[in-house]
Structure 1
Amino acid sequence: MSVEAALPTAHAPAVRGAPFVGALLRTVEILAAIALAADLALVIIAVLWRFAFNDTILWADEVARMLLIAVAFLGGAAAVAKGNHVGIRILRDKLAPHHASRVEAAGLWIELGVTLAVAVFAIEYCESASTQVTSTGLPQNLFMYPLVAGGFCMAIFTAARLLAYPKTDIAMGLAGLLVLAGAVTLWTTLLPDHAPSPLVLMLGGFAICLSSGIPIAFSLCVGALLYILGDGFIPFAVFAQQASSGIDNFVLLAVPFFVLTGLAMEVNGMSVRLIELLRRGVGERKGGLNIVTILSMVLFSGISGSKLADVTAVGTVMIPAMRRSGHDPSEGVALLAASAVMAETIPPCINLIILGYVANLSIGGLFAAGIYPAILMAGALILGVVIFSKKAPPAPVETSGRSLNNLMWSSAVSLGVIVIIFGGYRSGFATATEIGAFAVAYALLVGRLVFRELTWRSTVHLFIRSATLAGMILFVVAASQTVAFSLTIDQVPHMLAEAMINLSHGAGSWAFTIASILILIVMGAALEGAPALIIFGPLLIPVAQSFGIHPLHYGIVLIVAMGLGLFAPPLGLGLYTSCAVGGVSLEATVKPIAKYLAILFVCLLLIAFIPDITLSLPRYMGFVH
């Protein structure tokens, strides 16, 4: 199963039917894949040039960032066409079918407005920055053109999906939005002294959009646009500028590179071989399949960086095996989701990279700080599986016909990716982002030359899939930046810091830690991983430092707490993905996942209140002095 197939659609189905729209989608996919391939080649060449000649290619960083923005908005557009952007659907799904259809149509009208806003305001920004150039002499507008192209493509795809609905639902959806907009306009006009503030407009608009099933990225954009509208003094071009600057950073290139690595392992046969070797190693013991699921998530999280890629790679192998052996698939999906929480701190997890970027923390230090907490959580989950599986029958070990020697050799070759990631970074040969590019190259070469399972055709499809998935993730990051900017303008960081300090006054750091854990669990469920970290990481880490909490330690606590929310029912978006991969309903996983989340919550408290679990390895490696 592909990642696209595994992802739950946020609302309407993917575009289909119109030849023009289909041709545009193929064009957008190819352009996004080309941008990703060009970025990969450029980074590898730049690193080798620096190593060989002790010199840098001055323009390489800027071009790489420009290509990253192209991947974000073209790949994000392809994800729009396929309906892959995720949102919270639980409230919408409880409506009667005809009401749900009208809510979906209204949501698509909102998405259409957002996508047009991205394109139009990007053009407006281009007009104001037409004479500006970068430090190497490139036109500044080159960083904005992907927003224009991606925004208009998103608008076309959204319109095509909207037109697939009955005309009555389309009209009723638009009418409902116009009535709501008219009511707010009358309120602000007739009762200006009691009109909602820009911050209230932003939070209210975001909450309404999110609860109605509109994808998280578009809900964030709506909130930011309503803030600018309510403020009245901020140019709308700032919206596009912030969306672009949110991903205009070389560090974030690690996102598509590690996504590409994980998907390459799925396509080239690495993942299947590694899981089969683990299955044989664990053997026919009670809970064996569950133990293999946990160990597989440990391995793949250390390679792909993307939770979506991890859950898909492991779930598409393990859940069918559980069904064949008579195990309850809902139990397997629950453990798959819990294992994904555990894997949030295993480098090179994308959320570690994003937190390091937004909070100005050492990414290498975060990588080191996350290893022992992951070991603690993995061990606790395995112990839980052993206890819970005392009455379960052992599952037979399924084999593919490969010999044990063949599996061990091919797995050793596959684990070369981990050696490249950690060895390359630790040696100082390249940064974490640059090492991601070499991991991709290794995975492609192994699939092509060693396993011979990666054809030219599958390679092209691999880059298309990776660009779409990475674009979806990066578009969420871009949308989150627009909200973070609005919160900063309204001095929310300062107010939150004061509130947290007052809340913890007299009780000390432990009260602050508990409060921030609860906040991140709730926000992780509502906002998804990256937005929660982008918005709350820079807000809370300085406050934590004022309480004497080390930022690396606190960063790991934030990531685990956010992960608990991300995979917790009923709102956790990550749980939707796990359920889609396993083909079970969300309701069926609520009871089995509760016990695993309880185990992880206890682990989180241990991690939070025993700092040495996170800081001992970074201290040994020189990241903490």
Structure 2
Amino acid sequence: MLVETGPAAVAARASLPAAIVASLLRAVQALAALALLADLLVVAAAVLWRFVHGDSLEWADEVARMLLIVVAFLGGAAAVAHGRHVGIRIVRDAVPPALGAVMEAAGLLVELGVSLALAACALSYAATAATQVTPFGLPQNLFIYPMVVGGACMAVFIAARLSGCRGRDVGLAALALAGLVGIVAAWSILLPDAAPSPLALLLLGFALALGSGIPIAFSLSVGALAFLAADGGIDPAVFAQQASSGIDNFVLLAIPFFVLTGLAMEVNGMSVRLIELLRRAIGERRGGLGIVTILAMVLFSGISGSKLADVTAVGTVTVPAMRRSGQDPRDGVALLAASAIMAETIPPCINLIILGYVANISIGGLFAAGILPALLMAAALIAGVVVFSARSRPAPVERSHHSLRHLLWSSAVSLGVIVIIFGGYRSGFATATEIGAFAVVYAIVVGILCFRELSLRALADLFVRSATLAGMILFVVAASQTIAFSLTINQVPHALADAMIALSHGGGAWIFLLVSIALLVVMGAALEGAPALIIFGPLLLPVAQGFGIAPLHYGIVLIIAMGLGLFAPPLGLGLYTACAVGGVSLEETVRPIGKYLLLLLVCLVLIAFVPEITLWLPRSMGFVK
């Protein structure tokens, strides 16, 4: 099951003073939301200043990056309080309840340790940077203190949840963890020649944490901290330094902006109107709701970029409609997950932004390269739905009080967001981050003036939700950077490159592509999307170029393969999200999703071996010579 404790679970379960915890949560959410709002205003002001005066605001970049770090760690703390960080709980849910309670307590203890370690390492990092200033003159510690505060707040929220566990379970969990650490320490002291290496401890710590249900961001942090502790020669401040540098980039501001855009469309009623218009356009035909699901994912993925937001926005409308019409919701959830895989390469997908950032690939080029592969996969899924639904009865078209004229007008206004996104890239007027900022402004203005469904309270809640979701994503990115650093200093990139070249010996680029697909499918299931790309993208791309494979083409192949793993049973974290949205169990979706995954795998192989599918559009737009 998905690691979720539900909103406000902290205060309900805690024996700590509930009012203090609730007040802290409100303060953290408010600060994260205000930082996101300030970031939006700074970026929008910088673009307008450049347009009017032909010059840039020198301070805007640094202030925007500082505010991004605030969103990342305070928003990540709010996500901890709400139980929004996700992990794989197959083992924890399969064991007897008594053992599961001990594992729950052990997981919370580990999360508490990671949070305290983050705050302590950040304090150490701040001490080393006490006299340093940024190029514009801001104190360097302004980029560090949000980690201290975020780590401390995470610790408070986790402690509140931990205090809701039985004392016996906490005691047994503490003994088990102490015993595990003691065994490793004794082994290293008594048998130093046979002791596990720091890299082995990294992999072991990560695997044990992830397998026991600890959220992915904390599992990654466990691996990195185990590596640094075992190495002994690295200053603990490096952990905080790498976590900060992993998100200290203007490009990554596009993540909270596109998340905010998608959620704004959901709040102001754009999403419901678009889906209803699609439903009326498709009509009462076999597989109609499935086709609507696919087309809706195409549209929403071209707006928000967040698979969590897209799956939620589409699934909460289409899956209940399938239930009401007597269709199988299990197949609906399976198709929802498969559609999310298809949409992985539709711009402005967050994973496209992350890969472009970590692998130094043109983000605009990746956006262009992902469109035709996504359309190919969408066409294959639609064809599959038509064939698979040949014997089912058509679902009736449900109509609201909205007239067709109103739906056409409101949908045209809603699709203006897509015009802003693609028009901005095509014109070269702005970067991904700046386009995201204007998409947010457009979505909010339309919600207030056109649809009149975005009140001041709803707007405040929108920024809180967006900061929390963006913080969760960015915290995963920060934790992934700590792992990537640990692997780099241990020469893993060179070893992996040599291994991939050896596996591909004699087969050339084709074998390398197949091995890459298999690797990213597995890693996408185990690591979740962003960590898999952050760790393996920069490692594999130079090898791919050595085989003569274009970076844009290879990047799209990696992202689709990662998406297959992310939504494939039994480990795919994305599939857990789809199941939670649709209200069905993971086991019930295994058979229905198989046929859709096979279709997408065939499409992926075709995309991998026919580079023109990815390269034709970016070449025609000038991204490839």
Q: Distance in 1 between matches of 2:446 and 2:624?
A: 37
Q: Which amino acid aligns with 2:95?
A: L
Amino acid aligned to 1:150: G
- Distance in 2, matches of 1:110 and 1:52, equals 52
Measured against aligned partners, the alpha-carbon deviations of 1:47-106 in whole angstroms (never above 9, x if no partner) come to 000000011110100000000000000000000011110000111110111100100100
State the match for 1:151 in structure 2. Answer: 151
2:9 corresponds in structure 1 to 14
Residue of structure 2 in register with 1:264 after alignment: 264
The one-letter amino acid paired with 1:452 is R
Q: Give matches, 1:441-456, under 5 Å.
A: 441-456=441-456
- 2:415 corresponds to: 415
Contact 1:330/1:588 (<8 A) preserved: yes
Q: Output the CA distance in 1 between the equivalents of 2:527 and 2:490.
A: 20
How far apart in 2 are the matches of 1:454 and 1:10?
28
**Structure 2: which amino acid aligns with 1:207?**
A
The answer to whether the 8 Å contact 2:7/2:82 transfers is: no
Shift of 1:210: 0.2
Residues 205 and 223 of structure 1 are in contact (CA less than 8 Å); yes or no, is this contact kept in structure 2?
yes
Deviation (angstroms), 1:401: 1.6
When structure 1 is superposed on structure 2, of 427-436 and 211-220 the one drifting more is 427-436
The residue type equivalent to 1:572 in the other structure is G
1:84-163 aligned at under 5 Å gives the runs 84-163=84-163
Contact 1:7–1:84 (Cα < 8 Å) also in 2: no
SS at match of 1:91: helix
Cα pair 1:11 1:214 within 8 Å, conserved: no
Q: CA deviation at 1:505?
A: 1.1
Match of 1:159, SS state, is helix
> Is the contact made by 1:10 and 1:87 (CA closer than 8 Å) also made in structure 2?
no
| 1:182 counterpart residue number | 182
- 2-structure distance, mates of 1:46, 1:215: 37
Change (3 A) 1:202 1:240: same
Aligned to 2:503: 503
User: 2:9 is paired with a residue of what secondary structure?
Assistant: coil
Q: Is 1:27 aligned to residue 27 of structure 2?
A: yes
Which position in structure 1 is the counterpart of 2:613? 613
Indicate the residue corresponding to 1:275 in structure 2. 275
Q: Distance in 1 between matches of 2:8 and 2:206?
A: 22
CA contact (8 A) 1:10 1:88 kept: no
Contact 2:3 2:213 in 1 (8 A): no
User: Is the alpha carbon distance of 1:475 and 1:414 closer, same or farther for their aligned partners in structure 2, counting shifts above 3 Å?
Assistant: same
Q: Which amino acid aligns with 1:174?
A: A
Counterpart in the other structure of 2:470:
470
Residue 152 of structure 1 and its aligned partner are, at CA, apart by 0.1
Q: Residue 99 of structure 1 aligns to which amino acid in structure 2?
A: L
- Stretches of structure 2 lacking an aligned partner (at least 5 in a row): 13-17
- Structure 2 CA distance for aligned equivalents of residues 357 and 242 of structure 1: 15
Distance in structure 2 (CA, Å) of the matches to 1:12 and 1:601 = 37
1:207 corresponds to 2:226: no
CA distance in 2, matches of 1:562, 1:129: 37
8 Å contact 2:259–2:306 — kept in the other structure?
Answer: yes
1:244-295 CA-to-partner distances (Å, cap 9, x unmatched) read: 0000000000000000000000000000000000000000000000000000
Alpha-carbon distance, 1:10 to partner = 7.6
Q: Distance in 2 between matches of 1:135 and 1:77?
A: 29
Report the AA paired with residue 236 of structure 1: P
Structure 2 distance, partners of 1:379, 1:408, is: 24
Check the 8 A contact 1:7/1:581 in 2, yes or no: no
Distance 1:392 1:109 in 2: 50
The match for 1:390 is 390
Give the aligned partner of residue 54 of structure 1.
54
Cα shift at 1:7: 6.7
One-letter amino acid of the counterpart of residue 183, structure 1 = I
Which residue is equivalent to 2:198?
Answer: 198
Contact 1:420–1:439 (CA under 8 A) maintained in structure 2: yes
SS at match of 1:291: helix
Deviation string, structure 1 residues 315-356 (Cα, Å, up to 9, x no partner): 011011011000111110000000000000000000000000
**What is the CA deviation profile of residues 407-447 of structure 1, one whole-angstrom value per residue up to 9, with x for unaligned ones?**
10110000000001111221121111100000000000010
In structure 1, distance between residues paired with 2:44 and 2:601 = 41
Partners of 1:351 and 1:433 lie apart in 2 by: 14
State, as a whole percentage, how many aligned pairs show the same letter.
Answer: 73
What do the CA deviations read for 1:151-209 (whole angstroms, capped 9, x no partner)? 00000001000110000001111110001111111100100000000000000000000
> Shift of the alpha carbon at 1:11?
11
- Report the alpha carbon displacement of residue 454 of structure 1 after superposing the two structures with TM: 0.5
Give the AA of the match of 1:78: A
Look up the SS of the partner of 2:581 in the other structure. Answer: helix
Contact 1:8–1:576, Cα closer than 8 Å, also in 2: no
| Aligned pairs, number | 620
The one-character-per-residue Cα deviations of 1:93-151 (angstroms, maximum 9, x if unpaired) are 10111100100100111100100011111010111111111100111111001000000
By how many angstroms is 1:603 displaced? 0.3
Q: Aligned with 2:624: secondary structure?
A: coil
Partner SS for 1:15 = helix
Contact 2:5 2:82 in 1 (8 A): no
How far the C-alpha of 1:8 sits from its partner, in A, is: 4.6
Structure 1: distance between partners of 2:336 and 2:66: 36
**Structure 2 counterpart of 1:43, one-letter code:** V
Q: CA deviation at 1:13?
A: 8.7
Give ranges in structure 1 of 5+ residues lacking alignment.
Answer: 1-5
Alignment of 1:255-334 (within 5 A): 255-334=255-334
CA contact (8 A) 1:10 1:214 kept: no
CA distance in 2, matches of 1:519, 1:488: 18
Amino acid at match of 1:123: L
Q: Distance in 2 between matches of 1:546 and 1:12?
A: 49
1:513 matched residue in structure 2: 513
Output one character per residue of 1:392-412: Cα deviation in whole Å (capped at 9) or x when no partner: 100110011211111101100
CA distance 1:8–1:263, shift in 2 (3 Å): farther
- Structure 1 residues 500, 526: CA separation in 2 closer, same or farther (over 3 Å shift)? same
Within 2, Cα distance between the matches of 1:371 and 1:453?
A: 32
TM-score (norm 2): 0.98
The Cα shift of 1:12 comes to 12
Matches of 2:257 and 2:8, distance apart in 1: 28
SS of 1:429's partner is coil
| Partner residue, 2:15 | none
Q: Deviations over 1:363-415 (max 9, x none)?
A: 00000000000000000000000000000100110011211111101100000
Q: Which residue of 2 aligns with 1:429?
A: 429
User: Residues 451, 11 of structure 1: CA spacing in aligned structure 2 closer, same or farther, 3 A cutoff?
Assistant: closer
Contact 1:365 1:618 in 2 (8 A): yes
CA distance in 2, matches of 1:582, 1:262: 19
Q: Once the two structures are superposed, what CA deviation does each residue of 1:535-582 show, in whole Å capped at 9, x if it has no partner? A: 000000100000000000000000000000000000000000000000
Q: Is the 8 A contact 1:91 1:211 kept in 2?
A: yes
| Contact in 2 for aligned 1:257/1:436 (Cα 8 Å) | yes
Distance 1:8 1:232 in 2: 33
**How far did 1:14 drift?**
2.9
Q: Distance in 1 between matches of 2:255 and 2:566?
A: 18
What do you get for the CA RMSD once the two structures are aligned?
A: 1.1
Q: Which amino acid aligns with 1:365?
A: G
Match of 1:3 in 2: none
Task: Identify the residue that residue 404 of structure 2 maps to in structure 1.
Answer: 404
Matched residue type, 1:438: F
1:169 aligns with 2:169: yes
Local SS of the residue matching 2:619: helix
1:363 — aligned with what? Answer: 363
Look up the SS of the partner of 2:443 in the other structure. helix
Kept in 1, the 8 Å contact 2:132–2:140? The answer is yes
Structure-1-length-normalised TM-score: 0.98
Structure 1 outlier segments of 4+, above 6 Å: 10-13
The whole-number CA distance in structure 2 between the counterparts of 1:507 and 1:421 is 40
Cross-structure match for 1:243: 243
| Paired position in structure 2 for 1:542 | 542
CA distance in 1, matches of 2:413, 2:47: 23
